[in-house]
Chain A
Amino acid sequence: MIKSKTRVLFRLGDKIFPKFTLICSLIVVAVLVNILIILFIQAWPAIKESGFSFLVGRSWDPVKNAYGALPAVYGTLLSSILALVIAIPISMGAAIFLTEIAPSWLRSIASFIIEILAAIPSVIVGLWGLFVLVPVVRNPIESWLGTHLGALPFFQGPPFGFGFMAAAIILAIMIIPIITSLGRDVLKSVPGAQREAMLALGATRWEMISRAVLPYGRSGLIGAIMLGLARALGETMAVTMVIGNGYRITASLFSPGTTVASKLASDFSESSGLSLNSLIELALILFIITLSVNVIARLLIWRLTSVKGKAD
């Protein structure tokens, strides 16, 4: 039996707890809105000065006071999308392996390793990129692609090592653990009844996975990929260390480039006045892009859970 005094306390807790959580969520929303407002105020001089040309301009020249966001936005999207192209098959394969194929002892070990990988600070991944990845990207990866597929516009120019290619690979390495671990959770949530239904119809294990498990988890998996994308779009440190800091738009993946986040990281401390306002306008653009990707991802995952509720 619980003593009456403690029960009174519990009841009090029942009343206070919902209010407490409400306040916490309001604080989060307030911080979010505040960030948006502050970014907007700080960026305002640049918005007023450059106007629409900020979005389409291709140079960043504090001497001429000419600021264009396009190369940074291009670099952000290019490196992130390329990272997804690398990461999606690997992490989907790993998630399927972990939930459907691996023996249980391997599942727990591999899951543990993946959680650890996801927790490595990005500056450390960046150091590894600098010392290990960049030389390997230069030779053999880029030199091989240059000699054999050099006719394609993506693989032209001298192999620097530093550039979009290295940035995309390092981003892929950073988002594979996230997508794998979220994807594994999605696949684990697919009811056993769905698997058994397909097996009992005479499906092989692979048919069961491809026709029952993956379709059931479809929107959740897309959500996991989108969260990985959001992470890649905003990733700063590791990318800054390997992308080579070139402000240009080119199809060549060998070329040094920049992303919004790496531009901010490398220029922020030396900027003032209009160039600082312009950097903050860049940050505002990034904020809006990642926020929308996150919202879409959450909506997709939320839809998965509501579909599940309907099915069983």
Chain B
Amino acid sequence: MDTTKQTETTGSRSFSGNKGYILKAENLRAFYGAFLAVKDVNLDIKPKSITAIIGPSGCGKSTLIRCFNRMHEVTHGARISGKVLLDGEDIYTPGIDPVSIRTRIGMVFQKPNPFPTMSVLENVVAGRRLTSVLSKRTEMEEIAEKFLRQAALWDEVKDKLKQSGASLSGGQQQRLCIARALAVEPEVILMDEPCSALDPIATLKIEDLMRGLAKDYTIVIVTHNMQQAGRVSDMTAFMMMGDDRAGGLIEFGRTDQIFTNPKDKRTEDYITGRFG
């Protein structure tokens, strides 16, 4: 992403393609069979920013971000309508392979899920190996070191590269999963409550890490922790379930604005802890 794209002003639909936005949802609806879980989401995500999605549990936050890398359709019977534009191109255009989308938009899950039969080193390169041949051990080690450093894990595991990925602590496992996602060199990284299974110290480490990563990557993070959204994100999206049980986007704006001066009464109620 070049810097001119970042300085474009927001809001206008008139300019062509992706200028200003790397990821954009247009009238996005997500279904599980006949059940409408997320309805009519319009959302613009700027490159190299951190966007937090907050809202009460069950309002469709996970469902929404799983639509962004076409993981939603992995669930049996799940489908979407509307558009998700990545660099101006709809990732749901017929003929586009979801596999190629997932190499451009990576994902970190709620529970750390390293591959237990692989070593720490093999875990880091597991995704990268799918697209490029890493025959030499030194090549693998170089890549592993680079991304373990990016994930702020190198110093802790440099002597444990041959141990199983599952032998690390929970926080280390989650950073290993982040390194694994980074090693594919995606443009966008989606994180679904990445700290909810971790203790406060491991959580702070990952928040620090995210702020560093936002220099090079676009991050979308789901969190049920409002303090976390306030600490790490540039933009915040507030979602809520409507009377029809379908989750919708209530308000989207700069994080400081959402937290100090929300425009919608429901956002204010949620921020001030009056429900949820």
Contact = CB atoms under 8 A, between A and B. Distances in A.
Contacts of B126: 198, 201, 211
B102 A201 contact: yes
B71 A202 contact: no
B96 interface: no
A204 B127 CA distance: 11
23 contacts: A193-B111, A194-B113, A196-B71, A196-B109, A197-B113, A198-B115, A199-B74, A201-B103, A201-B106, A201-B127, A201-B130, A202-B102, A202-B103, A202-B127, A202-B131, A204-B99, A215-B117, A215-B118, A216-B117, A307-B117, A307-B166, A310-B166, A312-B113
Contact of B166 (A193, A203, A311): A311
Contact of A197 (B115, B130, B166, B184): B115
A218 interface: yes
Interface string A295-312: 000000000000110111
A307 B74 CA distance: 26
Nearest to A104: B76
A211 B117 CA distance: 10
A200 interface: yes
B57 interface: no
- Is the contact region of chain A dominated by helix, strand, or loop, or is it mixed? helix
B113 A201 contact: no
A211 B167 CA distance: 19
B63 to A, nearest CB: 14
A306 to B, nearest CB: 11
Interface string B126-147: 1100110000000000000000
Given A193-B113, A212-B115, A215-B118, A200 B71 contact: yes
Contacts of A312: 111, 113
Nearest to B129: A211
A187 B32 CA distance: 25
Of A200, A207, A216, A307, chain B has the most CB atoms within 10 Å of the CB of A200
A207 B111 CA distance: 22
Interface string A188-225: 00010110111111111001000110011010000000
Nearest to A199: B74
Contacts of A198: 115, 126
Given A215-B118, A310-B116, A200 B99 contact: no
A196 B118 contact: no
Given A201-B180, A204-B99, A216 B130 contact: no
Contacts of B76: 104
B206 interface: no
A215 B184 CA distance: 21
B144 to A, nearest CB: 15
A203 B116 contact: no
A198 B103 CA distance: 11
Contacts of B113: 191, 193-194, 196-197, 311-312
Contacts of B100: 202
Interface in B150-188: 166-167, 177, 180-181, 184
Contacts of B99: 202-204
A191 B110 CA distance: 14
Given A197-B177, A202-B131, A215-B118, 5 more contacts: A193-B111, A197-B109, A197-B113, A201-B106, A215-B115
User: How many interface residues does chain A have, given as a range?
Assistant: 20 to 34
Of A193, A201, A204, A310, chain B has the most CB atoms within 10 Å of the CB of A201
Contacts of A104: 76
Nearest to B186: A202
Interface of A: 104, 191, 193-194, 196-204, 207, 211-212, 215-216, 218, 307-308, 310-312
A307 B103 CA distance: 29
A243 to B, nearest CB: 40
A176 B263 CA distance: 65
B184 A202 contact: yes
Contacts of B118: 215
Closest 7 CB pairs of A and B: A201-B127, A202-B103, A311-B116, A200-B107, A193-B113, A215-B117, A202-B102
A202 B180 CA distance: 12
A104 B76 CA distance: 10
Contacts of A212: 115
Nearest to A216: B117
Given A215-B117, A218-B117, A200 B69 contact: yes
Contacts of A191: 113
Contacts of B177: 197
Contacts of A204: 99
Nearest to B183: A201
A199 B71 contact: yes
B35 to A, nearest CB: 18
Contacts of A203: 99, 127, 130
A200 B106 contact: yes
A207 B167 CA distance: 24
Nearest to B116: A311
Contacts of B115: 194, 197-198, 211-212, 215-216
A8 B131 CA distance: 65
B116 to A, nearest CB: 4
Nearest to B108: A200
B130 A202 contact: yes
